[in-house]
Amino acid sequence: MKKIIGYCLLLCCILTACPRPQPDIFKPTPYPFSIPPMFPTVVNIPEDNPLTIEGVRLGRYLFYDSRLRGYTGNNPDSMMCCATCHVQSNAFVCGMNNPKFPGGIPRGINGQPTHHNMLPLCNLAFNTNGYDWNGAIYPQNPHPHLRNIEDIVLISILAENELFSSPERCINTLKNISIYPPMFKAAFGSEDITAERIAKAIAQFVRTLLSFNSRFDQYMRGETMLSEDELAGWVLFTTEEGADCFHCHGSNGNLLMTTNMFYNNGLDSTFSDPMDRYAVTGNEYDKGSYRAPSLRNIALTAPYMHDGRFATLDEVIDFYSEGLQASPYVHPLMHQINNGGVMLTPKEKRQLKAFLLTLTDYQFIQDTAYGKPADLP
Ligand code: HEC
Ligand code: HEC
């Protein structure tokens, strides 16, 4: 009996003395996302993918790693990642000056052009209306894989005219690059690499790309003055009897420089693009409609329009001035459609352009936090 009590005491001692194994506590660091002055206060960040320092860091690496599509050799024609097309110095479009993509229309790994012209990546966390030119990717979409930037990542990986790869191929490749398993652990709690985690991390990085330091922003914050021509251009931009741009591309209250809504702005009189807004809504009056892009950094993002038909801002301004095409689908906010445009004088065109050039944010395109990590090949 004494022996048994002895054993019991011993066992108790052992049990209390040995610390119980602690579960690994996973606590990533919240990313300090702050809303710039005079921006909307509603953000589109899904609840199941909050921004974390570790997630954003991983996303930045994946965005810039051309081994992402699952090829680790050194034939540049077989390598591709988001940054192949989304180039920071061009506000994240490929740009007319891109040696790989002459004319600024990108091509996927299979050499085929993308269906539409590029869209820049900035301030996307403030778009709650729908991504892509036709808004096919939106939060309330009944289709669970067409709702947000996470889904765009996976579509880009699969698309024949983009990365043309598969999640399995990406995962197998990343597993064997030594920096990644620990980075997935830091961001998501374990070293498992999954398609969902790849999509989440890249989407987190994309949401951190904020542009709010153009000269126009500085002027609006009272930090700098604009020239006489630039100010005259702004007045033209924001008045109906002037150039009448503000209804769709934002005004003083909206420094996004877009409403993120969809309009037919009178580019054509007949419509055949199977991927316009009509393709998403089935509403006939959406034929030839597209999202009005933000005019931030517009000087950097040529060519212009969903099909890249205009190479310069002068061509765009000439179009709005006297080149509009009538059709039953033109949006009612194109007030001067019956006159062919807003009829600007050469001086007014120059002033409007001077204003558009104040929207370039040089800090955004040089911010090293948005650039390629120095230790990536
Ligand atoms: C081959 C060039 C190419 C590659 C590679 C590419 N994109 Fe894009 N991206 C485009 C084009 C073109 C569009 C416009 C598509 C449309 O609306 O039809 C676009 C649109 C987007 C949009 C929507 C922007 C908006 O305002 O609605 C996001 C977000 C995006 N891309 C992120 C990514 C990410 C993340 C990657 C990497 C996984 C990537 N892209 C890879 C060409 C590319
Ligand atoms: C009724 C709404 C509306 C009005 C008014 C309007 N736009 Fe647009 N804008 C759009 C839409 C929609 C697009 C995209 C059309 C497309 O690609 O088919 C666009 C495209 C553009 C683009 C090309 C953007 C890019 O990234 O390719 C520029 C530049 C532009 N508009 C400037 C202006 C200027 C300057 C004015 C005033 C003279 C103006 N817009 C008036 C709706 C409008």
Q: What share of the chain is helix, strand, coil (3-state, %, to 5)?
A: 40, 5, 55
152 lines ligand 1 (CB under 6 A): yes
User: So what's the pLDDT on residue 155?
Assistant: 98
- The 10s digit of each residue's pLDDT in 82-133 is 999 999 999 999 999 999 999 999 999 999 999 999 999 999 999 999 999 9
Q: Whose CA is nearest to atom 2 of ligand 2?
A: 248
Say how far apart CA 144 and CA 125 lie, in whole Å. 19
Q: Is the per-residue pLDDT at 247 higher than 90?
A: yes
In this predicted structure, what is the pLDDT of residue 75? Answer: 86
Distance CA 245, CA 238 (A): 6
Residue 16 has pLDDT above 90, yes or no: no
Q: Is 115 in the pocket of ligand 1 (CB under 6 A)?
A: yes
pLDDT per position as a tens digit, 217-227: 999 999 999 99
More confident residue, 180 or 102: 180
For residue 6, what pLDDT is reported? 52
**From 316, 318, 329, mutation site for ligand 2 pocket: most ligand atoms within 8 A of C-beta:** 316
Nearest atom within ligand 1 for CA of residue 131:
27
pLDDT band at 182 (very low <50, low <70, confident <90, very high): very high
User: Residue 72's pLDDT band (boundaries 50, 70, 90)?
Assistant: confident
Q: Would the pLDDT of 21 be above 90?
A: no
7 band by pLDDT with thresholds 50, 70 and 90:
low
Which stretches does DSSP call E strand in the chain?
A: 262-263, 290-291
In this model, does residue 251 exceed pLDDT 90? no
| Whether the CB of 203 sits within 6 Å of ligand 1 | no
Determine which residue's CA is closest to atom 9 belonging to ligand 1.
Answer: 118
When pLDDT is cut at 50, 70 and 90, the band that residue 256 belongs to is very high
Point out the least confidently predicted range of 88-92, 163-167, 252-256, 348-352. 252-256
Which of 44, 86, 259 is the best mutation target for the ligand 1 pocket, counting ligand atoms within 8 Å of the beta carbon and taking the most? 86
Atom of ligand 1 nearest to the CA of 117: 12
Average pLDDT across the chain, whole number: 94
Supply the pTM of this predicted model.
0.94
Cα gap 60→57, rounded to integer Å: 5
Mean pLDDT computed over 177-195: 98
Residue with tokens 């990533």: 28
At 76 the pLDDT is 84
Q: Structural domains in the chain?
A: 53-211 (1.10.760.10), 215-360 (1.10.760.10)
- The pLDDT, as a whole number, for residue 17 is 55
Residue 2's pLDDT is what?
A: 54
Q: What pLDDT does 346 receive?
A: 98
Q: Is residue 201 in contact with ligand 1, taking CB distance under 6 Å?
A: no
Q: Which residues contact 143 (CB under 8 A, 6 or more apart)?
A: none
Q: Is 324 in the pocket of ligand 1 (CB under 6 A)?
A: no
**Ligand 1 centroid from CA 359, angstroms:** 22
pLDDT at 217: 96
The pLDDT-based confidence of 172 (bands split at 50, 70, 90) is: very high
Give me the mean pLDDT over the 274-291 stretch.
Answer: 98
Q: In this predicted model, which residue has the larger pLDDT, 77 or 373?
A: 373
Share of the chain above pLDDT 90, in %: 89
- What's the rounded mean pLDDT across residues 297-311? 98
Report, as an integer, the average pLDDT of 293-316.
Answer: 98
Structure confidence at residue 299 as a pLDDT band (50, 70, 90): very high
109 Cβ inside 6 Å of ligand 1: no
**Ligand 2 neighbours by CB, cut-off 6 Å:** 243-245, 247-249, 263, 265, 267, 290, 292-293, 295, 298, 301, 304-306, 316, 320, 331, 333-334, 342
Tokens in use for 144? 């669970």
Question: What is residue 25's predicted lDDT score, i.e. its pLDDT?
Answer: 84
Of the residues 122, 265, 342, which should be mutated to test ligand 2's pocket, given the most ligand atoms within 8 Å of the CB? 265
Range 18-37 average pLDDT: 83
CA of 304 to the centre of ligand 2 (A): 9
**Percentage of the chain exceeding pLDDT 70:** 93
Determine the average pLDDT of the residues in 340-364: 98
In ligand 2, which atom is closest to the CA atom of 335? 5
Residue with CA at minimum distance from ligand 1 atom 22: 132
In contact, 108 and 282? CB cutoff 8 Å: no
pLDDT at 29 over 80: yes
> From the CA of 192, how far away is ligand 1's center (Å)?
26
Residue whose CA is closest, atom 39 of ligand 2? 245
Q: Which amino acid does the sequence have at 81?
A: C
Could you count the other beta carbons within 10 Å of the beta carbon of residue 141?
16
Q: Report d(CA 325, CA 304) in Å as an integer.
A: 17
Measure 265 CA to ligand 2 centroid, in angstroms: 7
